[in-house]
Structure 1
Amino acid sequence: MSGLKNIFTEHPNSVNETYTEHMYMSGSFAISLFAAAFCATVHAILPFMFEKTASGIINKLHARMVTNRVVKAPFEERGKVVSS
């Protein structure tokens, strides 16, 4: 059973998130990507609509994921009192 738990928690832990935090973050990215895909599809058919919307969504996602990512303490260290 431990191996099964590891496949669900290994990657979230590698980015210092719990499984639930990672599920929420990934889900919010998925919703934004669906919105970008919708806008890009409409733009492909009607080029006067959503001219910069899809690229704007992608740029915001990149900023959230890479540029402005808040790095948390490793999961094992959260909740511990650190003396100065």
Structure 2
Amino acid sequence: MIRRIFLDHPASVDETYREHMRVAAGFGTAMLLGAIACFTHALVPALFKRTGSTTVKRLHAKLTRDPQRDGKRPDYEI
């Protein structure tokens, strides 16, 4: 059960538990900051005009990276 909860998914994307934690936390941080920028933009449209879309594009590029380039799976799931 412990293996299923903590290790099976990271292994399925060719990562250790610690690597997966770092990657997932990085995605989470980027999404939180992007969300804050989007909410700020909603209130003050002159601010953060492209931050939300730039964040989404950057994260999408990481999720769909070329597996030949870095040895990781292209269909990464957090």
User: TM-score under structure 1 normalisation?
Assistant: 0.76
Higher relative contact order (CA 8 A, sep 6+): 1
Please list the CA deviations of residues 14-48 of structure 1 after superposition, one character each: whole Å capped at 9, or x if unmatched.
00000100000000001100110010000000011
Distance 1:55 1:68, change over 3 A: farther
Query: Structure 2: which 5+ residue stretches go unaligned?
Result: 73-78
| Larger Rg, first or second structure (1 or 2) | 1
Q: How much identity, in percent, do the aligned residues show?
A: 34
- Hey, which bits of structure 1, 4+ residues long, moved more than 2 A? 67-72
CA RMSD of aligned residues (A): 1.7
User: TM-score under structure 2 normalisation?
Assistant: 0.82
Query: Structure 1: which 5+ residue stretches go unaligned?
Result: 73-84
